[in-house]
Amino acid sequence: MLTFIGRRVVLAIFTVWAISVLAFAIIQLPPGDYVTSYIAQMATMGSVVTDEEAQNLRIQYGLGRPIYVQYYKWVKLIAQGDFGMSMEWRRPVTEVIGERLWLTVVVSVAALILTWALALPIGVYSAVRQYSVGDYLATFVGFIGLAVPNFLLALVLLYLGFVLFNAHIGGLFSPEFNDAPWSWARVWDLLKHLPIPALILGLAGMAQQIRIMRANLLDELRKPYVVTARSKGLPEPRVITKYPVRVALNPFASTIGYTLPYIVSGSIIVSLVLGLPTVGPLLLKALIAQDMFLAGTIVLLLGVMTVIGTLVSDVLLVWIDPRIRLEET
């Protein structure tokens, strides 16, 4: 068990490293270096960067030195909590991102929970009542979820909400709470707004999970141990939930690692369509304005968050599956 978690941790560290390299590459890709564009940006604003300031910045980021030195300096600054300046906003990147990162986490986790909370019972139902009306319905919804990209779904729902109810279903807060400080009322407002984006984000993953759960459970239902359980005299619902569902849960749980990155990815585009105050719209704006420190930092933070989430889910999986838990080596 410890080796399993250990392996996962090592892999997570490598993943974070890979993400940091990619984020660094994104920062480096546009032509010209950061300081030059910073000076140019400042000039358009009418303020002048002195040579001395420019020189300090160059040294701080190791410009002009080999690329790995620059990478190292950048990582070191990040380790100190300094993610650089956003050129677009002329404020530190951390300030610009602010609570948007946490709202991204909230939306993603909500979508993940919703995905699971719905996919599990629906998948079980579909398998136990194979070829029933409910099963066909679930299959149909599943295909919609798979075939309609979530940003299109968001668009359609937004349109329907607008035309049918004349209501704007986007956003995470009512207007009066948009910039309000945190309070219980604001949290409640957030919870009220959460289901629609969470559902849109979760639908594709849910469709996939239902298919996985259904297929696995159909396999498991034919296994002899189900007959054993039945022949003991257990009531049928208990037979199903204690044994085959429990076994089918394992492959189901192991997909969580791939569901989270998928949801986080989707949240970027969906946030844009629905106008959610997450990092999504910020990332797009930063990319279009070539505000690379902001963009790189967002990519880095999203990646790291996803890795942490995946790691947590892996540990959860160990806890669920005694075959791994009891493995002695």
Partner 1 sequence: MIAPAEPALEADHTMVDVGREPVTSLPRETLLSVRNLKTYFPQDEGLVKAVDGVSFDLYPGATLGIVGESGCGKSVTARSILRIVDRPGRIVDGEIRFRRPAADGGTGTGHVVDLVKLAPDGSEMRSIRGAEIALIFQEPMSSFSPVHTVGNQIIEAIRLHQPVDRRGARDKTIEMLRRVGVSSPEQRVDQLSNQLSGGLRQRAMIAMALSCQPTLLIADEPTTALDVTTQTQILELMRQLQQEDGMAIMLITHDLGVIAEMATDVAVMYLGRVVEQAPVDAIFHNPRHPYTRALLRSIPRIRSRSRERLTPIAGSVPHPYDRPTGCPFHPRCADFMAGKCDRLEPSLRPVGDQHAVSCFLYE
Partner 2 sequence: MAVAPEQRVFVASQWQLTWWRFRKHRVAVASAVVVAGFYLAVLGADFLAYADPNASEAQRGLMPPQRVYWFDDGKFGPYVHGVKGVRDPQTFKRVYRTDPSQKIPLRFFAQGFEYRFLGMIPTTRHLIGVGGSLDATKTIFLLGTDVQGRDLWSRLMYGTRISLTIGLLGVTMSLVLGVVLGGLSGFYGGIVDTLIQRTIEILRSIPTIPLWMGLAAALPREWSILQVYFAITIIISMLGWTELARVVRGRFLAMREEDFVVSARLVGCSQMRTIFVHMVPSFTSHIIAATTLALPAMIISETALSFLGLGLRPPAISWGVLLQQAQNVQTVAISPWLMLPAVPVIIAVMAFNFLGDGLRDAADPYGR
Question: Which spans of this chain sit near partner 1 (rule: CB under 8 A)?
Answer: 223-225, 227-236, 242-243, 246-247, 250, 321-323, 326
| List of long-range contacts for 222-231, beta carbons under 8 Å, 24+ apart | 223/247
Question: Going by C-beta distance under 8 Å and a sequence separation of 6 or more, which residues neighbour residue 169?
Answer: 157, 158, 161, 196, 274
Shortest spacing between CB 315 and partner 1, in angstroms: 17
For residues 36 and 41, give the distance between their C-alpha atoms in angstroms, rounded to a whole number.
9
Which residue number, 253 or 272, has a Cβ lying nearer to partner 2?
A: 272
Residues that bind partner 2 (CB under 8 A): 11, 14-15, 18-19, 22-23, 26, 29-31, 143, 146-149, 151-152, 155-156, 158-159, 162-163, 168, 170, 257-258, 261-262, 264-266, 268-269, 272-273, 283-284, 287-288, 290, 295-296, 298-299, 302-303, 306-307, 310
What's the longest Cα–Cα distance across the chain?
85
- Can you tell me the distance from the alpha carbon of 122 to that of 173, in angstroms, rounded to the nearest whole number? 30
Distances (CA, A) of 87 to 31, 43, 103, 218, 289: 15, 12, 23, 55, 9
Instruction: Quote the CA–CA distance of 301 and 278 in Å, as a whole number.
Output: 13
Which of partner 1, partner 2, none has residue 326 at its interface (CB below 5 to 8 Å by kind)? Answer: partner 1
Closer of 230 and 285 to partner 2 (Cβ): 285
Pick the closer one to partner 1 by CB: 1 or 42: 1
Q: Which of 12, 102, 81 is nearest to 308 (CA)?
A: 12
Instruction: Read off φ and ψ for residue 81, nearest 5 degrees.
Output: 90, 10
Least Å distance between CB 40 and partner 2? 16
- Residue 252, binding choice from partner 1, partner 2, none, Cβ under 5 to 8 Å by partner class: none
225 contact choice in partner 2, partner 1, none (CB below 5 to 8 Å, kind-dependent): partner 1
Between 174 and 186, name the residue whose CB sits nearer to partner 2: 174
